[in-house]
A and B are shown apart, each in its own frame.
Chain A
Amino acid sequence: MSSTVTLDRRTLLKGGGALVFTLAGGGVTILALSPAQAAAAPAPRALAPTALDTWLAVSEDGAVTAFFGKMDMGQGVDTAIAQVVAEELDVAVERVAVVMGDTSLTPNQGGASGSSGCRLGANPLRNAAAEARRVFLARAAGHLGQPVEALSVSDGRVFVTAEPARAVSYGEMIAQGFETALDWNEQYGNGLMVTGKAKPKSPLAYSVVGAPVPRKDVPGKIMATMEYCHHVTLPGMLHGRGVRPPVANAVPVAVDEGSIAHIPGAKVVRKGDYVAVVAEDEWNAIKGAEALKVTWSETAPPFPGHEHLHDHIRRAEKTADNSVANFGKYVAYDAAPALAAIEGAATRLEAEYELPFQSHARMAPSIGLADVRADGATIWSDTQKSHNQRDGLAKLLGMEPEKVRVVWKPGPGSYGRSDADEAAFEAALLSQELGRPVRVQWMRHEGHGWDPKAPAAVISCQAGLDEAGRLTGWYYRAKGFSGWEVMFNASDPRDTLVGQLTGREPGKGQNFGVPGESYDFPNAVKFWETIAPLQERASPLRCAHMRAPQEPQLHFASESFIDEVAAAAGADPIAFRLQYLTDAREIAVLEEVRRLAKWRTRPSPALRKAGKLVGRGVSLNSGFGAYVATVCEVEVDEETGRIWPRRLFVAHDCGVVINPRSLRTTIEGNVIQGLSRTLFEEVTFDDKAVTSTDWLGYPILDVMDAPESIEIATINRVEEPAGGAGEPAHVTIPAAVANAVFDATGIRLRRLPLTPDRVKAELV
Chain B
Amino acid sequence: MTTIRLTIDGAARQIEAADPDMPLLYALRGQMALKGPKFGCGLSQCGACTVIVDGVAMRSCVTPVSAVEGMTVRTLDGLAEDGRPHPVQAAFIAEEAAQCGYCINGWIMTAVAGLEDNPERSDADIRQMLTGLKCRCGTHMAILRAVRRAADEMAG
Interface residues in chain A, defined as those with a beta carbon under 8 Å from any beta carbon in chain B: 1-3, 26-28, 30, 73-76, 214-215, 217-219, 221-228, 230-231, 264, 281-284, 287, 361-364, 410-414, 441, 443-444, 661-662, 665-666, 668-676, 694-696, 700-704, 706-707, 710
Among candidates B35, B128, B131, residue contacting A228 with C-beta atoms closer than 8 Å: B35
Which residue of chain A lies nearest to B146 when distances are taken between CB atoms in the complex? A222
**Which of A363, A410, A669 has the most B CB atoms < 10 Å from its CB?**
A363
With A218-B96, A230-B39, A666-B99 given, name 6 new contacts (CB 8 A).
A73-B99, A74-B100, A361-B136, A362-B136, A411-B102, A441-B39
Within 8 A of A (CB), among B108-152: 108, 127-128, 130-144
- Tell me whether A710 and B141 are in contact (CB under 8 A): yes
Residues of chain B with a CB closer than 8 A to A1's CB: 31-33
Task: State A120–B133 Cα separation when bound (angstroms).
Answer: 35
Q: How far is the CA of A410 from the CA of B131 in the complex (A)?
A: 26
Least CB distance, A438 to chain B, in whole angstroms:
16
- Name A709's closest neighbour in chain B (CB-CB): B141
| CB of B43 within 8 Å of the partner chain | yes
- Across the interface, B134 reaches (CB within 8 A) one of A215, A441, A695, namely A695
- How many Å lie between the Cα of A1 and that of B16 in the bound state? 15
Q: How far is the CA of A670 from the CA of B80 in the complex (A)?
A: 31
Decide yes or no whether B59 CB sits under 8 A from chain A: no
Given A223-B85, A706-B141, A706-B144 in contact, is the A673-B35 Cβ separation under 8 Å? no
Q: Complex formed: what's the CA distance from A707 to B144 in Å? A: 11
| Most chain B CB inside 10 Å of its own CB: which residue of A215, A218, A441, A662 | A218
Contact assessment for B35 and A413 in the assembled complex, using a CB-CB cutoff below 8 Å: no
Residues of B within 8 A of A231 (CB): 33, 35
A283 close to B26 (CB less than 8 A): yes
Q: Please measure, in the bound complex, the distance between the C-alpha atom of A585 and the C-alpha atom of B123, giving whole angstroms.
A: 37
**Contact count A vs B, C-beta below 8 Å:** 180
* Whole-angstrom distance between the Cβ of B124 and the nearest chain A Cβ: 9
Of A287, A410, A412, A414, most buried by chain B (CB within 10 Å of CB) is: A412
B140 proximity list for chain A (CB < 8 A): 668, 672, 701, 703, 706
- Chain A residues lying within 8 Å of B80, measured Cβ to Cβ, are 223
> Would A222 and B85 count as touching, CB distance under 8 A?
yes
Residues of A within 8 A of B136 (CB): 361-363, 412-413, 673, 700
How would residues 7 to 36 of chain B score, 1 for a CB under 8 Å from any chain A CB and 0 otherwise? 000000111101100110010011111111
Contact between chains at B139 and A669 (CB < 8 Å): yes
Pairwise interchain contact A215-B96, C-beta atoms closer than 8 A: yes
30 contacts between A and B (CB under 8 A): A1-B33, A28-B16, A28-B31, A73-B99, A76-B96, A221-B98, A222-B89, A222-B92, A223-B89, A224-B35, A224-B76, A224-B77, A224-B105, A227-B35, A228-B102, A230-B29, A264-B18, A283-B22, A283-B23, A363-B46, A363-B102, A363-B135, A444-B40, A661-B96, A662-B96, A665-B96, A670-B138, A695-B43, A703-B140, A706-B127
CB-defined contacts of A284 to chain B, threshold 8 Å = 18-19
Closest to B92 in A: A222
Q: Does B52 contact A (CB under 8 A)?
A: no
- The answer on a CB contact under 8 Å between B101 and A281 is no
Q: Which residue of chain A lies nearest to B14 when distances are taken between CB atoms in the complex? A: A28
Closest 9 CB pairs of A and B: A672-B138, A221-B101, A74-B99, A74-B100, A413-B100, A224-B36, A412-B102, A669-B138, A695-B45
Residue of chain A at shortest CB distance from B45? A695
**Distance in Å: Cβ of A93 to nearest Cβ of chain B:** 15
Report B-chain residues with C-beta under 8 Å of the C-beta of A214.
96
Q: Which residue of B lies closest to A697 (CB)?
A: B45
Q: How far is the CB of A77 from chain B (nearest CB, A)?
A: 11
Q: How many Å lie between the Cα of A2 and that of B32 in the bound state?
A: 8
Task: Give bound CA distance, A133 to B9, whole Å.
Answer: 48
Asked whether B67 is an interface residue with its Cβ less than 8 Å from the other chain, the reply is no
List chain B residues, Cβ under 8 A from A410: 100-101
Residue pair B89, A676 in contact (C-beta under 8 Å): no
Complexed CA–CA distance, A76 and B96 (Å)? 10
Interface residues of B in 22-71 (CB under 8 A from A): 22-23, 26, 29-36, 38-43, 45-46, 48
> With a CB–CB cut-off of 8 A, which chain B residues contact A704?
127-128, 131
B105 CB, min distance to chain A CBs, angstroms: 7
CB distance from B26 to the nearest CB of A (A): 5
In the complex, the chain A residue whose C-beta lies closest to that of B137 is A413
Q: Give bound CA distance, A74 to B103, whole Å.
A: 12
Contact A444 B138 (CB under 8 A): no
Contacts of A696 in B (CB 8 A): 45
One of B77, B131, B138 near A673 (C-beta < 8 A): B138
By a CB distance below 8 angstroms, the chain A residues around B39 are 230, 364, 441
- Is B73 part of the binding interface, using a Cβ–Cβ cutoff of 8 Å? no
Q: How far is the CB of B100 from chain A (nearest CB, A)?
A: 3
Bound-state Cα–Cα, A287 to B18, Å: 13
In-complex Cβ contact of A695 among B16, B32, B36, B41 (8 A) = B41
CA distance in complex: A703, B103 (Å): 13
Nearest CB in chain B: distance from A240 CB, A: 15
Contact B130 A668 (CB under 8 A): no
Central interface residue in A73, A665, A671, A673, by most chain B CB within 10 Å: A665
Q: Is the CB of B138 within 8 A of A73?
A: no
Task: Kindly identify which residue among A3, A701, A707, A710 contacts B33, using a CB–CB cutoff of 8 Å.
Answer: A3
**Listed residue (B29, B32, B99, B144) with the most chain A CB atoms within 10 angstroms of its CB:** B99
How distant is the Cα of A364 from the Cα of B30 in the complex, in angstroms?
Answer: 17
B19 near A283 (CB under 8 angstroms)? Answer: yes
* Chain A residues closer than 8 Å to B15, beta-carbon distance: 28
Q: Which residues of B contact A215 (CB under 8 A)?
A: 96
Minimum CB distance partner of B32 in chain A: A26
With an 8 A cutoff between CB atoms, is B93 at the interface?
Answer: yes
Bound-complex Cα distance A700 to B135 (A):
8
Residue from B16, B38, B101, B137 within 8 A of A217 (CB atoms): B101
Q: What residues on B are CB-neighbors of A264 within 8 Å?
A: 18
A364 contacts B138, C-beta separation under 8 Å: no
CB distance from B7 to the nearest CB of A (A): 13
Contact between A444 and B43 (Cβ–Cβ < 8 Å)? yes
A707 CB contact (under 8 Å) in B85, B101, B141: B141
Bound CA–CA A673/B18 (angstroms): 41
Query: Whole-angstrom distance from the CB of B84 to the nearest CB of chain A?
Result: 11
Tell me the complex Cα distance, A430–B36, Å: 28
Shortest CB distance B20–A (Å) = 11
**CB-based contact A700/B108 at 8 Å:** no
Asked whether, in the complex, the Cβ of A694 is within 8 Å of the Cβ of B45, the reply is yes
C-alpha spacing A30/B99, complex, angstroms: 31
In the bound complex, CA of A414 to CA of B101 (Å): 12
Complex Cα gap A35–B105 (Å)? 30
B96 contacts A703, C-beta separation under 8 Å: no
B138 touches A668 (CB 8 A): yes
With a CB–CB cut-off of 8 A, which chain A residues contact B133?
Answer: 703
Q: Cβ of A30: which chain B residues have Cβ within 8 Å of it?
A: 31
CB contacts (< 8 Å) of B93 on chain A: these are: 218-219, 222
In the complex, chain A residues whose CB is within 8 Å of the CB of B130: 703
List A contacts of B105 (CB < 8 A): 224
- Chain A residues in 8 Å Cβ range of B143: 703
Cα A443 to Cα B18 in complex, Å, equals: 21
**Which chain A residues lie closer than 8 Å to B38 at the CB level?**
228, 230, 364
Contacts of A224 in B (CB 8 A): 34-36, 75-77, 79, 105
CA distance A27 to B33 in the complex (A): 9
